[in-house]
Amino acid sequence: MKDLILIGGSVALLGIVALVFFIVRIWTHKSSIAKDSGVDFRPVIGFTRLDGWASLAILLTNKSAGNIWTEEVEIVLTELLADDQTSEASLHEIQKIRQTVQPEDMLPVSLVETIYKAAGKPQRKYSCVMSALVRYRAGEAWFEKPLQPHKLRMAGLTVVSNHRERWTKSEFKPQEKSQVQQ
């Protein structure tokens, strides 16, 4: 009987500790969102239909109450394997967006031409890991949001396969000086 009470007390204590842990975790997550001034901007890599083709794109979703000005997306390619390029691979490109995303709206922006140019315009199949950083403004404040890296296999301007890579913050190395006027 004594052992049952001890076991029951231990289980209850463990449950209370787990509950406190989850409450603290939810509270810290909400406070980190508040630091972004209520901005709920969700850029992700996905696909959009353009002229009947599925095109790799950055999908800019605004869940905020106000407009979001999207300035640019900067991409960096690593682990590039390509043959028959028509120019030297820069492995780095900035695509200007310069459009407003209204509340509860989504703006797709194709990235295939930017990736193709950064890879040196390969004429055959090629593969790389693409990291991206989106620069945007909400109100008067500027923000940068890194996106999860993606392993791409391409053929010219066509995506053959795409999958997310393990997130490592050190993979993205933006240029020294941002082109955004701050």
Residue 50, domain extent: 39-171
Amino acid present at 136:
Y
**6-22 b/e with 16+ CB inside 10 Å = b?**
eeeeeeeeeeeeeeeee
Least confident of 16-20, 48-52, 93-97: 48-52
pLDDT in tens, 77-86: 999 999 888 8
122: left (phi over 0), alpha (psi -120 to 50) or beta: beta
Is there a single domain that holds both residue 16 and residue 65? no
pLDDT in tens, 126-171: 999 999 999 999 988 999 999 999 999 998 888 888 877 776 554 5
pLDDT at residue 176 is higher than 60: no
Q: Specify the pTM.
A: 0.70
Token pair listed for 181: 């006027």
Is there a single domain that holds both residue 5 and residue 47? no
In sign, the C-alpha dihedral spanning 92, 98, 104, 108 is negative
Contact 127, 116 (CB under 8 A): no
pLDDT at residue 32 is higher than 50: no
pLDDT at residue 72 is higher than 90: yes
Is there a single domain that holds both residue 66 and residue 154? yes
Is there a single domain that holds both residue 51 and residue 93? yes
Alpha carbon distance 94, 120 (integer Å): 14
Alpha carbon distance 20, 173 (integer Å): 38
The whole-number average pLDDT for the span 85-113 is: 94
Backbone angles phi, psi at 120, to 5 degrees: 90, 25
Is there a single domain that holds both residue 47 and residue 111? yes
pLDDT at residue 96 is higher than 70: yes
Is there a single domain that holds both residue 82 and residue 165? yes
Q: Report the share of the chain in percent with pLDDT over 90.
A: 50
